[in-house]
Amino acid sequence: MTDTLLHKRTILITGGTGGIGKQTALALARLGATVIITGRNLASAQTAAEEIRQASGNPQVDVLAADLSTRSGVKAIASQYRAKYQQLDVLINNAGLAEAQRRLTQDGVEADFAVNVVAPFLLTQELMPCLQASPAARVITVTGGSHSANSPIDTGNLQAEREFVGLNHYSHTKLAMMAVMYEFAQRVAGSSMTSNVCYPGQASTAMTRSVTPDMLPGVARLIWPLFKWFVRPDGGKSAAKAAQSSVFLASSPAVESVNGQYFNTRCQPTEWPKAVVDPAIRQHVWATVEDLTRSGR
Ligand SMILES: NC(=O)c1ccc[n+]([C@@H]2O[C@H](COP(=O)([O-])OP(=O)(O)OC[C@H]3O[C@@H](n4cnc5c(N)ncnc54)[C@H](OP(=O)(O)O)[C@@H]3O)[C@@H](O)[C@H]2O)c1
């Protein structure tokens, strides 16, 4: 262990078995936190945890396993957490999904929407008692995809009911997630809790390496060879760099009471896309997601 900045802090990172989440877990373990990672498979999560213990010198690395694409999986992670720990100081909603084909989960929810939007919402709600037990809890959610300030949120196509183009839909679900987490930040404003979103930047990970040309919108397929070159395996180097914004938000005293901000790859607050902060849109997305967590459909 190289530092004890986060000694006595307990941090839960979804999707910590590989890619950016694993590098985030490693960096925070090196800072002395108790780190809990999640993955779908218990054995591979345990292997990742052991690698993080070895590399960080911090024995306080634990695992929880369940599939976050289903309501029952999210609830299982939360109840496993609550059974072992009372307090949660930092929740990093990092796990993400970009499917090549439109697919429904066993709850009947489109899979990207389930993992990228419903899971962060539901997990945060389910862990509220533990977050409220912390004197200064931080909720951090990792976004992705390509957005501009004017990227729209199409409330009639949230689950790609009308149209599905892999990476466009993935980006759209991340925008929807940002709207939900922005709304969440407004709801917890003034409490001991903060909620911020960060953009990690491009990294070579299982997710980006599994992108197929048909996931790109028509004209963007022309840059396919360039995309493949960017995501060539690099031994986790780019993922470690991309972990920096989550690590900053989880550990820096400078953001102790900063709430409702969107951080870029340089760990600086940046402007939210307009649709994300639009009250009618964000409340619509919030209500849609809340409804899905009740009914599972
Ligand atoms: N890589 C990039 O260039 C990039 C760019 C911008 C944003 N991001 C975002 O950064 C985050 C991390 O992405 P990454 O590139 O590091 O991806 P990754 O290497 O594919 O890792 C994804 C993690 O999420 C977990 N996961 C995926 N689906 C899950 C499910 N249904 N239930 C539970 N866990 C699940 C995986 O665990 P198991 O497979 O072990 O279950 C894994 O630990 C995502 O939110 C992504 O959208 C990535």
Alpha carbon nearest to ligand 1 atom 4, residue: 202
What is the residue-level pLDDT of the chain in tens, covering all 297 positions?
A: 445 578 789 999 999 999 999 999 999 999 999 999 999 999 999 999 999 999 999 999 999 999 999 999 999 999 999 999 999 999 999 999 999 999 999 999 999 999 999 999 999 999 999 999 999 999 999 999 988 899 999 999 999 999 999 999 999 999 999 999 999 999 999 999 999 999 999 999 999 999 888 888 877 788 888 888 888 999 999 999 999 999 999 999 999 999 999 999 999 999 999 999 999 999 999 999 999 998 644
Query: What is the distance between the alpha carbons of residues 98 and 86, in angstroms, rounded to a whole number?
Result: 33
Choose one of 80, 172, 205 to mutate for the ligand 1 pocket test, by most ligand atoms within 8 angstroms of C-beta.
205
Which H helix or E strand runs over 167? Answer: helix 166-188
Q: Is the CB of 47 under 6 A from ligand 1?
A: no
> Structural domains in the chain?
10-202+239-295 (3.40.50.720)
CA atoms within 13 A on the CB side of 239: 26
> What are the phi and psi torsion angles at 39 (to 5°)?
-160, 175
Residue with tokens 């200064």: 136
Q: Is 116 helix (H, G, I), strand (E, B) or coil?
A: helix
Q: Is the CB of 87 under 6 A from ligand 1?
A: no
Contact 72, 36 (CB under 8 A): no
> What are the phi and psi torsion angles at 92 (to 5°)?
-110, 105
The answer for residues whose C-beta is within 8 angstroms of residue 230's C-beta and 6 or more apart is 202, 204, 208
Locate 279 and state its tokens. 């009250």
For residue 190, report the distance from its CA to the centre of ligand 1, in Å: 31
Question: Whose CA is closest to 40, among 12, 7, 63, 8?
Answer: 63
The reported pTM is 0.97
Q: Is the CB of 40 under 6 A from ligand 1?
A: yes
Q: Facing residues of 13 across strands? A: 37, 92
Per DSSP, 114 falls in state: I
Total residues belonging to the chain: 297
Sheet holding 193-198, edge to edge: 61-65, 34-39, 10-13, 90-93, 137-142, 193-198, 262-263, 269-270
Contact 116, 174 (CB under 8 A): yes
**CB count in 10 Å sphere of residue 127:** 23
